[in-house]
Every structure is written in C-alpha cells, then in structure tokens.
Structure 1
C-alpha cells in the first residue's frame, strides 16, 4: 500500500482536475470525456504515471466516469420523449461492438498511437464546431442499413479510443441528416450508455496486470479518480452552465472548437515536439 501522503497528493490533484473538467463540461455542454481525457493526461503526468500507460489510463478512467452520467442523462431525456429509440435499438449491438473493438485495439497499440488518434479526431471536431453551418446536410433522413449500422460501429470504435461518450460524433451524424439538434443530443445520451459500459469493462481487461499504474487502479481504470471526479463535476458543472447562458451559441461552438484545437496541438507536440 502506498504512503498516505502519496494518496493524498494524488487525490488533491485529481480533485482539481475535476473542478476544471466540471466547469468546462458545463460551459460547452459536453458529457466530459473530450475534456477529462486531456485533463487526466496532464494530471497523471504531473504525478509521475508511466508514459507507456498514461493515455490508456486517461481514456479508461474517462469512460468509467461517463457511465453514471450518461445513464442519468438518458433517463431524463427518455422521460421527456425526445430520444430516437428506433435508432438506439438499431445500434444496440453495433455501438457496443465498436466500443469493445476499441478496447481490443487499445490493448495492443502504444500510448503514442492513442494520442495521435485523439488529436486527429479532436481536430476534425474542432473544424466542425468552428465552421459549422446549419445548412450543412447530407440527406433528409438517416441512411438505411447496413450504412446506419456501420456508422454505429464506427462511432463506438472512435469514441472508445478517445474515451468519450460519442455525443459530438452522433450529434454530427444526426444533424447532417436533418434531425433536430435537441433529438440528436437526447439520443446521444443513450449512445453514451452503449459506449461507456462495455468500454469500462474492456479497459479493465486491456490493462489487467500492467506495470506502472497508480494506486487503486483496476486495469486502465483508476478508482480514486472515478470516486472524486463524479461528485465534483456534478457540483461545479452549474458554474459552467451559468457561463454558457451568458454566451451565444456560435460563441460556444467556436470556443469549444478552439479548446479542442489547443488540445490536439498539445498532443501533437507531445508526439513530435
């Protein structure tokens, strides 16, 4: 068992990370994964976690935190009747399959590869946020299978590799096919459930027995972070929400796009700087 002082320092650093992630998640209306992963990556680095497992640990821990928040969000949206249940039924196997495939990939790729994947997808998300136009459409309704089913698998894979709940990717998919943004956001909460639960177990399996993990970790999931971050993010998220209501939609989209661009370049710098 590590010294109490080491555990306390670890807990305090993660608590500070939770405050930052909670405010930013509330500000930008994102489930938190896109924010938690880079925050965890920085904090785990400051705490001396081995570079070989630092990104994997960040992604796995982020998915574990998304489980209760996505379930709570889905139930709330479901009661309001705005979730596209037909789409979720169609993706009941596709999205979890993608999430499981992501954990299998993560078990065999390096930390550098995971950072590169996160940075590339983050840049694509940033482009969409900064330059988004309401007129951008691919079709008037969602495509039929097998295209729709394969999109679900792809969202599961990419989200599982990034440690996110799939909200930004699913929102983009649904709105490009003419679905209202409120329906897209509500349905994304269900997608988050389908990604985070298999992702959690998958990252526990992928990191089982790995060396260099911090105290109280099971595979690539750190339970100190999970236990601290969930209540802290729920507590401080309203601060970010209040800030969000003081800004326009385009300001928020551009702000999140700029944030994701900075994160992407931070990861690119860690790879090639």
Structure 2
C-alpha cells in the first residue's frame, strides 16, 4: 500500500531521481528543452517501483515533470541569454497562446488514460527526431518567421503538447523555429525560455486534477505533483543547466542537431515499448 511506504523505501528511490536531475539539467542547457523527455521516463520507473497504479502513474509523471521544468528552464534560458543567443520578441508573442494551450491540455489530460499520453509523447518525439536527424536544409516552410496569427497558433500547439506529455515545449519550439530558417543555436537558446513560462498553469491544473485520486497517489503528493520527485530533481537539474548551455555553444550546428534527434528517438522508443508491453 502507498500509504504504508516507509521512509527507507523512499530513500532507496532517491538515487535515480538525483541522477535523472543531473542528466535533465545538462540536456536542458544543451538542447533548449526543459528536460521533460528525461524526467518523465525516470519518474515513471520510480513511481512504478513505489507501486503507483498505472491508471494515475503517467499523469503523476507529467504533473511532476512540469514542476521540475520551471526552475531548470529559467536557469538554462539565463545561461543562453548571457551569451546573446536569444532572439528577442518571440517569447512575448508565444506566451499568452501557449498558456491557453497548456490549460486546455492539462484539462484534457485529467480524463485520459496513461497510455494515450504515452502515445502522444511517441508521436511528437518521432516527428521532432525525424526533422533533426535528416539535416536537410530544404525542410523549411519559409526563410523568415511568420506573422502574429501563425505564431499565436504555434504558441497554442506548443502549450497543448507540453501539458499532454510533460515537456517544456522547448523541443517543439526548436523544431518550429528551425523550419523557418532560424539557426540551431539561436533556436535552442530561444526555446529554452518557453519552459520558464508555459508549465506554470499546467502545474496548477495537474495538482487540482489529481485531488480526487489522492488515495492512489504516493505520500507527499499535491494532486498529480510529487514533492519527492520535485525536491530530488529540481535543485540538481537547475545546478547543471548552465553546464549544458556551455556544451551547446562549443558544438557545431550539425553535431547539436544530431544529438537532439538521437535523444528524442531514444525517448520515443522507450515509451513505445511501454505501450506495447503495458
């Protein structure tokens, strides 16, 4: 029973959370992602070991991931901005529609089965990985960013995807920007900022949405947000985010793209296996 889980048993799960925090921070700075694609799989295995029921496990992973993403993305964005790589104005344009998207997504997610969220993760990650690994310069919609209506629509989609699969939206933002000819380093730097904005309403949504299921959730949870997961991963990931940003700016464009694509492919494969063998 979750309610009888001892502190010793909880302590035995701390190490993978800390290691996940290290990897999350480095990838957040390196790829402009909030690290959700690492956080969610790590949390999924930890919560499985804790005996969290499958019917609420993925929702708990996503809600906790969104909470961890905020401080990690803030630190990553600050590190990139200090290097002058952030494109001004884009975050301001995306912020409101992205928040609307994440509120919509978190509301929908409260009524979905966990495997549906996993499938959404796989589809989005595969699309993003294909674009990054192809390396084709002709995979562009245009050589310049679109007007406000299209940018607002993109902002909404980023927020919706972020809330459904527990990512910051940074990876999707990177793909969108690259489709309009934005260099990968500038796209990664700018995308890092989106994770500091859009997860917040999603966190609230998941926290509220999980209240009716508190008996099925592990100790120290606020709805679908685990304080154990947050306390173990957030400080570590925030500490390591600037290191990842330093790595990113020392790499070539193609190396950074390949790393981004491989990362997404591995994460998509992980959840595809989880769906097949559930």
How high is the TM-score relative to the length of structure 1?
A: 0.86
Instruction: Determine whether 1:43 maps to 2:40.
Output: no
Structure 2 equivalent of residue 214 of structure 1: 218
Aligned-pair distance for 1:272? 2.3
Q: Number of paired residues?
A: 273
Q: Which residue of 1 is the match for residue 227 of structure 2?
A: 223
Matched, 1:102 2:105: yes
Q: CA RMSD in A?
A: 2.8
Q: String of CA shifts for 1:139-165, please: whole Å, max 9, x gaps.
A: 122212322211110111012212111
Unpaired stretches in structure 2, ≥5 consecutive residues: none
Separation in 1, partners of 2:255, 2:93: 34
Match of 1:112 in 2: 115
Q: Deviations over 1:68-115 (max 9, x none)?
A: 122333445556655444322222310100111110111111101001
Equivalence for 2:153: 150
Distance 2:107 2:57 in 1: 17
The answer to whether structure 1 residue 173 and structure 2 residue 176 are counterparts is yes
Question: Which of 229, 238, 262 pairs up with 2:266?
Answer: 262
Which of 159, 164, 168 lines up with 1:161 in the alignment?
164
Q: 1:126 pairs with 105, 125, 129, which one? A: 129
Cα 1:263–1:208, aligned 2, differ >3 Å: closer, same or farther?
same
Give the aligned partner of residue 65 of structure 1: 68
Counterparts of 2:267 and 2:69, CA distance in 1? 20
Question: Could you tell me whether the CA contact under 8 Å between 1:119 and 1:264 is conserved in 2?
Answer: yes
Shift of 1:25: 4.8
Structure 1 position 186 matched with structure 2 position 183: no
Aligned to 1:202: 205
Structure 1 window deviating more from structure 2 (4-13 vs 34-43): it is 4-13
Residues 247 and 87 of structure 1: is their aligned pair in 2 closer, same or farther, counting only changes over 3 Å? Answer: closer
Structure 1 gaps of 5+ residues are none
